[in-house]
Each structure stands twice: as C-alpha cells, then as structure tokens.
Structure 1
Amino acid sequence: MRKLLLSLLFLVAAGAHAQTDVIDLWPEGVPNVRANPGPERVDGDRISNVSRPTLTVYPAAIDRPARTAVIVCPGGGYEFLSFTREGRQYAQWLSSLGITAFVLKSRLGDYGHPAPLQDVLRAIRTVRAQAAKYGVAPDRIGVMGSSAGGHLAASAATLYDQPAGRTGAQLDAVSARPDFAILMYPVITMDPSAAHMGSRQALLGAHPSAELVRLMSVEKQVTAQTPPTLLMHSQDDGAVPIENSILFFQALTRAHVPAEMYFFERGGHGMGMNPGLGNASNWPKRAEDWLRDRHLIVQ
C-alpha cells in the first residue's frame, strides 16, 4: 500500500501544473445572480462566496487517453469547497489514469437550491457539447463528488431532467445525464434520521417544505436510468453517517442499476487521498479497478 501511495503522490505532484483552461460556465450571465455578492473568498484549501461558477480542466496525462471525462464536485457542506483535497488532487489522479478531469467551482448555500444543481448540470452539458474540443467521448462523461459534493454528483445522476436544473439557455437541449458516478462518503438523504444537517440547512434553508426535502433526498429519486455508480464510505464517519451510502446502494439495487460499494472500518470523514487510514487509503486502486472493468480507462 505504501508503494501505491507514494506513486499516487508522485503523480499528483507531477500533474500540479497540468491544468490548461478555466471554463466560465455561464458566459451569458449567471442565473439569479446576487446583487453585490462581494469577492470570492479563499482560505487555504477552502473556497467560498462563489458567484462565478467555473470548470478547471486537467487533461489526460498519458499518451493513450481513455476519451473519458469526469466532473469533480468538491465537498464542504454546501458552505465552502474543499478545492484542493477533494478537487485538484482527485483531478490529478484521474489525469494520471488517462481521464480528462474538470473540477467544478459551484455556487453554495448563499444561493441555495437550485443553484448548485444548475451549475453541475450546466457543467455536464458544457463538457458534452465541447467533447471534441477536449478529446473525450460524449457518452463517457461521469461525475465524482465527496461529502456534500457527493450529494451534488448524486443529484446530477438522478435529477438530470429536473426543470429546476434548466435556465432556458440554448445549452439546455444537451443531455445532462452523467454516464457514471463515483460517490465518496456522500451526503444522500435530507431525512433528519440520517442527514448531514449542516448540508441540508445550507442547501434547503432552515424550514424546507416536505416536498423539497423529498426531492433532494436523492435516494428517493433513483430510477432504472440512473447511471452505474461506485460508492466509498467509512464505518467511523462521524459527520455523514454511512447510512447515506447504504440508502443509495439499496435504491440502485432495487432499480437494477449496476453498482459497487466499498465500506471501510476506519477512515473517518473527508479521507480524500490521505495516507495512514488503513484499507481506506487504498480506495484509489479499488476505483481504478472499477473504472477499468467498465472500460472507462485504457486496458
């Protein structure tokens, strides 16, 4: 395992300057933009007060790329984005596998629902519409998210046709359905029995309607059209209960959607690509095997 982690760290370091482009998601104007939002805030790894959503591009870093794309949704409870640990580091790892990665900088709780959903669906539509430009196939576009970013990725996987995710732009005609999903210790349900209440309040407000709670409890939105999904979660996650991943996996199974899940005894919350977490630190190899088995990376 130590050898694997050292190799991953080397690849991350080697890819540190691989990004080549930042895409403005709403060049025609951000929908429902707030008046005088103030500057974006950066505090170490954390980005908040996002009013200009973007995608940062990390091209595939091998000679035989897989023509696969992944849109990465960092976590942060819908209050901030853990842009390095759950964004850039994942993107550089994906790039090392021959996947073109796009790190999403989405709007957060200061906008609330449906702004984050609009941003992630716009990201998928943008990448699909420009697939040839980035050397990817339009039917090989996935999403990956951690914690609240996992909820956003799972929302894309289940609510891709939601009217609230459209803005009336011409790009709405492009499909926003991802072709696969990788969910890392995701927030899934908004039901208080297992919800991460901080994410729920940031996204839905203090007193959401029962209808909105049900809509954004994405385990209730799974259908046979939900894309194949890989789930990772730790038993000792003290922030987002492991029941979130269990609920989603059960819903996928009922809908006959191909799915795998890996549960680890320890790893806590926000394990990212950190070493020293026992078997949980080996999750990139499990994910690589899953991607390879689904022919999403070069054999």
Structure 2
Amino acid sequence: MTRLHRRTLLLAAGLTAATPASARRREEDWQLWPGGAPGRESVSLSPEVVERSVDPAYRDRIAVQTLDPLLTVVRPARPNGASLLLIPGGGYRWAVVDKEGMDCAHVLAAAGVTCFVLRYRLPGEGWPAGPAVALQDAQRAMRLIRARAGALGLDPARVAVLGASAGGHLAGCLTAMPPPAYAPVDAADEGPWRPDLAILLYPVATMRDPFVHAGSRGRLLGAAPTRDQIDQWSLEALDWSGGPPTFLLHALDDGPVPVDNSLMLLGALRTAGVPVEAHLFQEGGHGFGVRLIAGRPAQVWPELVLAFGRRHGWVP
C-alpha cells in the first residue's frame, strides 16, 4: 500500500511523465478488430493523436477520428492475476490517451494489475452503429481480454472496468446494457462482455436534464434526441439487477458533470441490490485522473479502489 501511495504522488506531481524504460518494455498494442472495425468501409476519417501538453514533463494526448481501435497493454512487473480495462473520457468528442488512461494504468500496474487502455471510436464521426459504436469497442475489448487471459497468466473471472467522465458512461453501458451491439467476428466473441467489477470516476451518468453533460449527449445522441433515446442511454434508468460490485468517485465541485450524476446512479444501484461504494470529495473539479489532484484528499482514490477490489475478490 505504501509503494502505491508513493507512486500515486509521483505521478500526481508530474515527475513520471516520461515513462521509465522498464515500463515501456512491458507495453504493447493490440488491434481490437481482425479485418477492421464494423462499418469501416462506410467512413472516411483521418486518424490523429494530438499532444495537448506544452510541458515536457508529462504527456496529455487525445485521439480523434480513430479508424482502428486498439488496446494498449501495460503489464506489471509482478502481476497478481487481475485485469483492468481502462476507458478514458473526452466527452465523446475525443478519447483521452494519457490523463485517464496511461497515467492511471501505470499507477495500478504498480500494484500488480494488468491494465488495458482502450482507444475507441467516437459516435459523432459517421459510423453506421451511431451511438453504439463506442460500446461495440468496449464489448469487444472485454471479450478479447478474457479470451487472451490464460496466455498472459491472468484470471478471466477477475476483469474489471474503469471509466472516467464520458468513459464512465461507456463503462456503465458496458456493465448494464443488454445484448451485444455487434455480430460475432471470431471465437473471442463467444465469451461474456460484462466486467466482474466496475469503477466509475466522475461519470457522465444521465442523459436527462438538468444534470446532463450537454456536450456528451449531443455527440452521442445528436442535437434533438427523443425521450426514448435519452432514457435508453441514461445509466440510472438501466436495469442493474445482478450487476457487479461498483465503485463511484466524484468531486462535489465538479462543474461540467455535476455530482448529481453519481448520486442518481448510486440510488439506482442501491435499488437494484448491487454492492456499491461511493466516495464524494469536497474538491477536485472534473477530469483529474491521478496527476491533477496532487496534495488533495482525492489523490487516495487508487488505494480506495484496490481496497474495494480486495473486498470483492478482484485483487488479492
């Protein structure tokens, strides 16, 4: 626990932005879809990864117009058998790579968790699947992790998901929505797509006014969604019966995504009888990941997640 805490502080201070060579050697990319993503022939995009950081001490990349979704695997020096699919945010406008992806993966890999950071397609970029396009990628990612778990020495029954902001919405959809959003493409798709534990950081939960993050809803459902569409994609309106243990984290001063998103989802989870734990912090704002909360109470969230996971059998 002490080792994790020190690692968290280092990342939060921006001192480890240049990934150590030893960590780089344990990273690799997996293509998500053999032969291309569903509907690829129907879109014309120019994939781009943009570096937003002007500070050489850390990276802050975003991915847009992704054609070929991928998983970046971050393997720990001493794996404990647990896996984690990380789904960063970006308001469905882009997919964050580092802040809620690689940065968090390095912290949790230091605790023995094998991490898989998802770079997913975006619903506003003309894909035939519309709002379900990112969900296709998330479901495929979970199935691929389980299909390859044995070869990596991992337990296919201990695969969690961590989603942040709009990635938290996508992780919630992955956890609670019914049947798969795509036709099977290979043997990996014979496996389950739902996670064994869910971790939602300041999630975009509701698509309903007045607490909706309007940008996420607009890019997911368009400018004038119907009431049925709004209800279909609101996490608090989904059927969570039989759902896995779920961890919620939010800052009370979150402006873009009000804390009411987590509070409404907390109520739905309790009603459904889902084992749930929620942590609300006085300050932290939105989109803090691990680096932007150095010195603030919320910086302990990775330790809280691991403690929750330990109680529910995800990590030893």
Q: TM-score, normalised by structure 2?
A: 0.87
1:56 to 67, 72, 75: 72
Preserved CA contact (<8 Å) 2:4 2:107? no
Conservation of the 8 A alpha-carbon contact between 2:101 and 2:117: yes
**In structure 2, what residue type is equivalent to 1:179?**
D
Matched, 1:38 2:46: yes
**For residue 7 of structure 2, what is the amino acid of its counterpart?**
S
Following superposition, the deviation at residue 277 of structure 1 comes to: 5.4
Matches within 5 A, 1:169-188: 169-170=185-186, 171-188=188-205
CA contact (8 A) 2:184 2:190 kept: no
**RMSD in angstroms over aligned alpha carbons?**
2.1
Q: Does 1:140 align with 2:158?
A: yes
SS in 1 for 2:306: helix
What is the rounded CA distance, in whole Å, between the counterparts of 2:93 and 2:26 in structure 1?
25
8 Å contact 2:245–2:312 — kept in the other structure?
Answer: no
Are 1:271 and 2:271 an aligned pair? no
Go from structure 1 to structure 2 and tell me whether the alpha carbon gap of 1:130 and 1:32 turns closer, same or farther (over 3 Å shift): same
Runs of 4 or more, structure 1, over 6 Å off, are none
**C-alpha distance in 1 between matches for 2:81 and 2:3:** 28
Alignment partner of 1:98 is 2:99 = no
Aligned to 1:222: 239
Letter matched to residue 293 of structure 1: R
Equivalent position SS for 1:136: coil
What amino acid does structure 2 have at the position aligned with 1:46?
I
Distance (whole Å) between structure 1 residues aligned to residue 164 and residue 266 of structure 2: 16
Contact 1:145 1:153 in 2 (8 A): yes
**Is structure 2 residue 44 aligned with structure 1 residue 27?**
no
Letter in 2 for 1:169: V
Counterpart of 1:72 (choices 70, 82, 86) is 86
Paired with 1:297 and 1:120, the residues of 2 have a C-alpha distance of 22
For the residue of structure 2 that corresponds to 1:97, the secondary structure is coil
Label 1:230 to 1:265 Cα distance change in 2 as closer, same or farther (>3 A).
same
After superposition, the Cα gap between the structure-2 partners of 1:155 and 1:277, relative to the gap in structure 1 and judged at 3 Å, is farther
Deviations 1:206-260 (A, max 9, x none): 1222222111101111322211100000000000010111111111101111010
Does residue 127 in structure 1 map to residue 135 in structure 2?
A: no
Alignment map for 1:141-160 (pairs within 5 Å):
141-159=159-177
For 1:146 and 1:272, locate their aligned partners in 2 and report how far apart those are by CA, in whole Å. Answer: 8
**Quick one: distance in 2 between partners of 1:113 and 1:143?**
20
Judged with a 3 Å threshold, the aligned counterparts in structure 2 of structure 1 residues 241 and 10 are, in CA distance, closer, same or farther, namely closer
User: What's the CA shift string for 1:70-91, capped at 9, x where partnerless?
Assistant: 1000110011122111000111
Contact 1:145 1:184 in 2 (8 A): yes
Unpaired runs of at least 5, structure 2:
53-60
* The one of 210, 217, 220 aligned to 1:193: 210
Alpha-carbon shift at residue 98 of structure 1 (Å): 0.8
SS of aligned partner of 2:24: coil
Counterpart residue identity of residue 76, structure 1: G
Give the match's secondary structure for 1:169.
Answer: coil
Residue of structure 1 equivalent to 2:55: none
Deviations 1:91-112 (A, max 9, x none): 1111111111000000013144
The 10-residue stretch of structure 1 (215-224 or 140-149) with the greater mean CA deviation from structure 2: 215-224
Instruction: Give the superposition deviation at 1:68.
Output: 0.9
Matched, 1:285 2:303: yes
Q: State the Cα distance separating 1:5 from its structure 2 match.
A: 5.4
Name the residue aligned to 1:206: 223
Report the CA distance shift for 1:41/1:292 in structure 2 as closer, same or farther (over 3 A): same
Percent of aligned pairs with the same amino acid:
37
- What is the letter of the counterpart of residue 289 of structure 1? A
The CA deviation string for residues 243-291 of structure 1, in whole angstroms up to 9 with x for no partner, is 1111111111011110100000000001111234521122222122212
Q: TM-score, normalised by structure 1?
A: 0.92
Distance in 2 (CA, whole Å) between partners of 1:287 and 1:175 is 23
Task: Decide whether the 8 Å contact of 1:61 with 1:97 is kept in 2.
Answer: no
Establish whether residue 231 from structure 1 lines up as the match of residue 248 from structure 2: yes
